[in-house]
């Protein structure tokens, strides 16, 4: 089904992330003022979607069924990027989750390193997915993207089923306490040359919950822990979706 950024009709069903926005304010997707959309099927299970806006190009690499109820949103660091750390973790997990009937959207920011805009990008991607059936989201981010993931999950509210941070920074996570009981896992290498494990520890402390996993010998890009990351997250994320959604 093609992306339709302006259709307020049946595809924009009730009880979606965009519906949490007050009636007199634009939804995150509407705030982008999308000028045009183009998309291309790259494989039977992967679409490349581009949303053209006056503030930049928002790119979505969309794995799995378009009508998936459960969707993982993945976002990169301060320089952007779509592959993720650990030599293409995002790509590989997107393929893995496809076989589970879980959708995955890898988000290419309009303006990397602009926290507010990047959060809007991720929540707008959730809104796009919600228009074709998505209702619950796990948000995953690397480095700067960890702060994006935390804030996007706060914006998604009860539609957020889980949060994954990878080598996260603590800056921008000052409101992490607002995630409430949303499951949180923080993965960080003890040989990170850019951000210390203490950054993830700080985010967990602010959140008041979460599991901190320290990866022995892994640097900022987590290459040394690639197999462990793939195995652990291939189980942890579906488990988040298996838990019943909290009442509205």
Nearest to 51 by CA among 97, 114, 120: 120
Mean pLDDT along residues 95-116:
98
Buried b (16+ CB within 10 A) or exposed e, 2-16: ebebeeeeeebeeeb
Distance of alpha carbon 140 from alpha carbon 184, whole angstroms: 10
Q: Given pLDDT bands bounded at 50, 70 and 90, which one contains residue 9?
A: very low
Return the pLDDT at 80: 97
Residue 23's alpha-carbon distances to 18, 19, 64, 227, in angstroms, are 10, 8, 32, 45
Return the pLDDT at 16: 67
Q: Are 209 and 181 in contact (CB under 8 A)?
A: yes
First to last CA, the chain: 28
**Least-confidence region, from 13-17, 92-96, 122-126, 145-149:** 13-17
Mean pLDDT along residues 89-113:
98
* Main-chain phi, psi angles of 37, to 5 degrees: -130, 140
Residue 8, pLDDT above cutoff 80: no
Buried b (16+ CB within 10 A) or exposed e, 173-182: beebeebeeb
Residue 159's alpha-carbon distances to 1, 23, 59, 166, 170, in angstroms, are 22, 19, 22, 21, 23
User: pLDDT, tens digit, for every residue of 54-91?
Assistant: 999 999 999 999 999 999 999 999 999 999 999 999 99
Look at 55 and 245; give whichever has higher pLDDT.
Answer: 55
Length of the chain: 248
Return the pLDDT at 212: 98
Return the pLDDT at 14: 43
Mean pLDDT along residues 31-43:
97
Nearest to 185 by CA among 155, 219, 228: 228
Look at 47 and 19; give whichever has higher pLDDT.
Answer: 47
Distance of alpha carbon 207 from alpha carbon 23, whole angstroms: 30
Mean pLDDT along residues 102-112:
98
Return the pLDDT at 173: 98
Mean pLDDT score across all residues of the chain? 92
What would the two tokens of residue 213 be? Answer: 């996993």
User: pLDDT, tens digit, for every residue of 191-217?
Assistant: 999 999 999 999 999 999 999 999 999
Q: Given pLDDT bands bounded at 50, 70 and 90, which one contains residue 19?
A: low
Q: Which CATH superfamily, name and number, covers 26-242?
A: Alpha/Beta hydrolase fold, catalytic domain (3.40.50.1820)
Mean pLDDT along residues 217-223:
98
What would the two tokens of residue 231 be? Answer: 């195995």
Nearest to 191 by CA among 165, 211, 167: 167
Distance of alpha carbon 60 from alpha carbon 39, whole angstroms: 9
Return the pLDDT at 24: 72
Return the pLDDT at 243: 81
């Amino acid at each position: 089904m093609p992306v339709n950024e302006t259709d307020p009709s049946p595809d924009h069903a009730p009880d979606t992330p965009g519906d949490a926005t007050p009636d007199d304010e634009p939804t995150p997707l509407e705030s982008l003022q999308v000028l045009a959309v183009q998309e291309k099927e790259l494989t039977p299970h992967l679409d490349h979607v581009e949303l053209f806006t006056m503030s930049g190009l928002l790119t979505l690499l969309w794995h799995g069924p378009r009508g998936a109820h459960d969707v993982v949103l993945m976002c990169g660091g301060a320089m952007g990027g779509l592959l993720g750390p650990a030599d293409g973790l995002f790509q590989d997990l997107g393929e893995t989750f496809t076989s589970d009937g879980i959708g995955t959207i890898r988000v290419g920011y309009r303006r990397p390193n602009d926290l507010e805009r990047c959060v809007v990008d991720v929540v707008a991607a959730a809104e796009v997915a919600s228009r074709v059936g998505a209702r619950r989201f796990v948000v995953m981010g690397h480095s700067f993207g960890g702060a994006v993931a935390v804030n996007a999950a706060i914006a998604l509210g009860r539609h957020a089923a889980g949060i994954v941070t990878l080598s996260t920074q603590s800056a921008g996570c000052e409101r992490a306490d607002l995630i409430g009981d949303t499951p949180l896992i923080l993965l960080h290498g003890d040989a990170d040359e850019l951000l210390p494990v203490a950054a993830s520890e700080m985010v967990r402390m602010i959140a008041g919950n979460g599991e901190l996993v320290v990866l022995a010998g892994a640097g900022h890009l987590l290459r040394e822990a690639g197999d462990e990351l793939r195995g652990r997250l291939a189980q942890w994320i579906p488990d988040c979706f298996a838990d019943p959604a909290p009442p509205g």
